């Protein structure tokens, strides 16, 4: 890991999470953030691909943190920004969690259309239904396998990030 070029890694991976971070400024400013310059045609194509071009344009302001937009619209713009970056790996974390069914379907279709490696953390059936391969981390390893679903095996040792009991637990003099 120490040999990885950080700039190369950042250019290859595009994260999109549940709390889509948008910045004060225009749609163009937000789509162009963190990537080499792109043409207006390329930015507009990204908006079209996520189903946003019919309700917003490149020169429209978003307000502080995109506050004037619904969660579904913020998610679409975050996906468009990831598309503009042309990543090799797209990381999506619960981006459809709080969306209505129609918006979830549209966002899921946009994610399914990405031509790169896509890693998704989601509990939503609509989002997961479009994936070629699933790794279900909720099923015990001994559970029967469903076709096309891989079950994650727990690590052989506890995670260093796992909560540990307090050294004071059970003491009466503490």
* pLDDT tens digit sequence for 56-79: 999 999 988 888 888 888 888 998
Contact between 98 and 62 under an 8 Å Cβ cutoff? The reply is no
CATH number at residue 18: 3.40.50.300
Q: Is residue 157 situated within a structural domain?
A: no
The total domain count for the chain is: 1
**Residue found under tokens 């998704």:** 120
Strand segments (E) across the chain: 13-17, 89-93, 117-121, 134-136, 149-151
pLDDT score of 75: 86
What range does the domain containing 96 cover? 10-151
Q: Which positions ≥6 away from 87 have C-beta within 8 Å?
A: 11, 12, 13, 14, 116
Q: Is residue 117 included in any domain, yes or no?
A: yes
**pLDDT tens sequence across 5-27:** 888 888 888 888 888 789 999 99
At 28 the pLDDT is 96
pLDDT at residue 152, rounded to an integer: 53
pLDDT at 143: 56
* Residue 25 included in any domain: yes
């Amino acid at each position: 890991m120490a040999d990885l070029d950080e700039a190369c890694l950042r250019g290859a991976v595009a994260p999109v999470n549940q709390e889509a971070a948008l910045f004060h400024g225009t749609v163009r400013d937000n789509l162009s953030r963190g990537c080499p310059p792109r043409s207006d045609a390329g930015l507009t194509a990204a908006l079209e691909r996520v189903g946003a071009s019919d309700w917003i344009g490149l020169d429209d302001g978003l307000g502080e943190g995109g506050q004037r937009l619904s969660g579904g619209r913020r998610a679409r713009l975050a996906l468009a920004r990831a598309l503009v970056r042309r990543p090799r790996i797209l990381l999506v974390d619960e981006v459809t969690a709080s969306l209505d069914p129609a918006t979830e379907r549209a966002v899921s279709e946009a994610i399914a259309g990405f031509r790169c490696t896509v890693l998704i953390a989601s509990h939503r059936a609509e989002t997961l239904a479009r994936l070629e391969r699933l790794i279900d981390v909720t099923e015990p390893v001994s559970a029967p396998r469903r076709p096309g679903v891989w079950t994650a095996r727990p690590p052989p040792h506890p995670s260093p990030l796992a909560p540990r009991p307090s050294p004071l637990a059970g003491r009466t003099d503490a």
